[in-house]
Amino acid sequence: MALYRITFQYSETTYCTNLAEATDQASVNAYYTSEGYQVIAINEATESDRNEAERKGMPIVSIKDFSISDIEALTYEQVENMSEEMQTIKGHQVYFVDFGGYFKYSVLVFRDKHHLYYADDYELHHSYMKDREELKKYYIEEMQNRLFDDASILAPLTDYTEKERRINYLNNYYPLLCDDKVSAFNIFHDDSEREEFRKKVENMYYCGCIGFFYTSNPAFVRRLEKLYSGVIKASEQASNSPEYWFNAFKYEMYNHEYAINWQGDYDVCSCFCHCEYGEYKTGIDYLREAGFDDTVVSAYCKAKSEVMRNSDY
């Protein structure tokens, strides 16, 4: 732990200076800004500063590193005060915050002032990044793929992987917009806990098609179910698109190392239908057996040609 001298604005006309022990300077800044103060300056303090504070009976603030629970509990107002920068991505407020300590330079996501903390990301997961600029670029690209507003949720599908990304958003992030969400997933240690949960949700609405939670807001459930139905409809419509199937097959071929996989046709086709393995069967055989039409078969052959052409094997 290092010792720091921090000067901050306590009120409109009052400025204060404290001594604080913390892992690093960023941890000090994150702590004070999360408390709503405007930080003026942070400098390393000396043992002489410590001795003087002890002689005057001044407290030395001990700042612990933020935990994941601390971060998930942060409000919109706190993060707005803490952040170094904010960008709007598909109707979401994406904040860049340096927590110092364990989590370091992180990205926090809000929508309509609700913290979508399952979408947050932290530097501790990306220690291989060479610098902060590279990490920030990654965060922005990742959030552009991870986040959706209602319009983009319902837009036509051309990217095979986007269906799963849209469903992931609805399943994990969108329910966090519900103020009284109660998860359907619980661990009960005894019958009394089970009964307490039953009483809590017995008059609530259950969202069972996606999200899997209880709420007192039926309009929220209907809106979520409508968005989910829109994704399924877009997926069904995309099944008529040769481009969609081409991208889908190409993605799974690379995913299953098709060029060096002796049962690559089986592995890839099994992602889209039930296949009965045959040592001498081709991808066309599997698709025909499953009832796919010429559009799908043609897309498979086109994807195979491109993957093999770009392969080093």
pLDDT digits 0-9 by tens, 23-74: 999 999 999 999 999 999 999 999 999 999 888 888 899 999 999 999 999 9
Q: How confident is residue 261, by pLDDT bands cut at 50, 70 and 90? A: very high
Q: Would the pTM of this model clear 0.85, i.e. be above it?
A: no
Residue 236 has pLDDT above 90, yes or no: no
On average, the pLDDT of the chain sits at 93
Query: How much of the chain, in percent, has pLDDT values that exceed 70?
Result: 100
Mean pLDDT of 157-174: 92
Assess contact for 28 and 99: CB atoms under 8 A. no
> What is the per-residue pLDDT for 240?
83
Residue 313 has pLDDT above 70, yes or no: no
Q: Tell me: the pLDDT tens digits for 202-217?
A: 999 998 888 899 999 9
Lowest mean pLDDT among 119-128, 154-163, 294-303: 154-163
Backbone angles phi, psi at 21, to 5 degrees: -100, 130
How many angstroms separate the CA atoms of 41 and 24, rounded?
14
Quote the tokens at residue 209.
Answer: 């098609």
Residue 1's closest CA among 64, 51, 68?
64
